[in-house]
DNA sequence: ACCTGAACACCGTTCAAGT
DNA sequence: ACCTGAACACCGTTCAAGT
């Protein structure tokens, strides 16, 4: 009657995350995850509904990590929205570079598994909404936040996809874009 | 000695494209493609190296279609870059709505199969570069084009992912963003 | 020259049987 | 209560054999 538990859900998500970053989504296989935590694939189904649910948990962890980073970053310049804006943009890029596969997955969710993640993503990007509100004014806060998040993630997704490999300093291009976005969104 | 050919590469790509839009990438299975063109899966390997190569051809077709649409759109307002800018933004959105799965795939390429597609994508977005050059000036044409394409595709990818489902008129938000981008990029 | 059935390796998932 | 081997369905791909 014992049957001691040999792993945890946290360890399973850890393993899936590591496999994702190491070899892309196709590398996160139930067998590879199981082997990494020291059990057999069928045992994973005691902790996780199926593979899509596991990938959803990985995406959720990434969203939480991004949200924590953004909140921390925004808190560091509480009364200078312009400075906060630039710092947030740099933080998102740092996160994208640190976890490229997870970042891409956040904005390219699987069929329907990631439906609940939309709320989590909205929660995670609250600091951006807040800064946008202070820059653009309450009336256009939502539009401004959407333009900003879309622009930054679009830039980063294209950068990660290698679309900017030809020509020029990508760091400078990002800084240039951030500055122009700031002007585009700020009310004055 | 006959062995008449029973299909064509074009028909195969057609079938894959249709399956992709109908059921996502996981629906474009070698067996499903083969069935749709009236042969058996192994015969596909006479025309296509493997599944990734086939998906690459689908992406290539989408890029070509987008490029043709953009060229056509830009040609319609040859001496009003502001009008051309807005028209291009609307054309990209129309394309994304018409072929959502293909659009997402263009900006989320598979591992390495889509490496050559970067060039094709650059070619397809030449009209955007041209308009950006006229708006921002030659010196900053590349940065402006990158900001614009990143912003528009980011917005559309998020829209297709359902990230904007809560709150507000997405059409208006897009128009608002396009207008602000125009101001952000235009030199005067 | 193209097409096919058979076969192989691999994957997600289920389930009865172990402890 | 968790873990396992065995099994099933499905997929990508290869290949010898057909025409």
Q: How far apart are CA B19 and CA B13, in angstroms?
A: 10
Q: Lowest mean pLDDT: which of A86-100, A162-176, B109-123, B165-179? A: B109-123
Give me the mean pLDDT over the B153-158 stretch: 96
CB A69 within 8 A of CB A44: no
Q: Is the pTM of this model over 0.85?
A: yes
Q: Which stretches does DSSP call E strand in B43-109?
A: none
Chain A, 5-24: which CBs lie within 7 Å of strand D?
5-7
**C strand bases under 7 Å from protein CB:** 1-6, 10-16, 18-19
Q: Among B105, B71, B70, B116, which Cα is nearest to B90's?
A: B70
Distance from CA of A98 to the nearest CA of B (A): 18
Give the CA-trace dihedral at B13, B19, B20, B24, to 10 degrees.
-160
Tokens 């970042």 found at = A103
CB A144 within 8 A of CB A185: yes
Q: How far apart are CA A130 and CA B97, in angstroms?
A: 30
Helix or strand holding residue A127 (H, E): helix A126-136
Q: How far apart are CA A124 and CA A119, in angstroms?
A: 9
pLDDT digits (tens, 9 = 90+) for B94-123: 999 999 999 999 988 776 655 567 788 889
Give the torsion sign (CA, A122, A127, A128, A133).
positive
What pLDDT is stored for residue B112 in this prediction?
62
B166: left (phi over 0), alpha (psi -120 to 50) or beta: beta
Does the CB of A138 fall within 7 Å of any strand D atom?
Answer: no
How many of the other CB atoms lie within 10 Å of CB of B49? Answer: 11
Q: Do B151 and A151 touch (CB under 8 A)?
A: yes
Give me the mean pLDDT over the B70-81 stretch: 97
What pLDDT is stored for residue B116 in this prediction?
60
CB B135 within 8 A of CB B81: yes
What pLDDT is stored for residue A53 in this prediction?
96
Helix or strand holding residue B65 (H, E): helix B51-75
């Amino acid at each position: 009657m014992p049957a001691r538990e040999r792993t945890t859900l946290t360890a399973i998500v850890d393993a899936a995350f590591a496999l994702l970053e190491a070899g892309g989504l196709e590398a996160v296989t139930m067998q590879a995850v199981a082997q990494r935590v020291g059990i057999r694939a069928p045992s994973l189904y005691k902790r996780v509904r199926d593979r899509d649910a596991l990938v959803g948990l990985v995406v959720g962890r990434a969203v939480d990590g991004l949200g924590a980073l953004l909140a921390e970053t925004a808190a560091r310049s509480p009364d200078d929205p312009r400075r906060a804006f630039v710092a947030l943009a740099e933080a998102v890029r740092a996160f994208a570079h640190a976890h490229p596969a997870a970042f891409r997955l956040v904005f390219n969710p699987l069929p329907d598994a990631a439906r609940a993640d939309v709320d989590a993503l909205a929660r995670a990007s609250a600091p951006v909404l807040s800064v946008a509100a202070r820059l653009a004014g309450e009336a256009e806060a939502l539009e401004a936040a959407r333009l900003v998040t879309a622009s930054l993630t679009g830039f980063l997704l294209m950068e990660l996809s290698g679309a900017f490999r030809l020509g020029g300093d990508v760091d400078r291009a990002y800084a240039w874009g951030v500055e122009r976005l700031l002007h585009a969104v700020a009310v004055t």
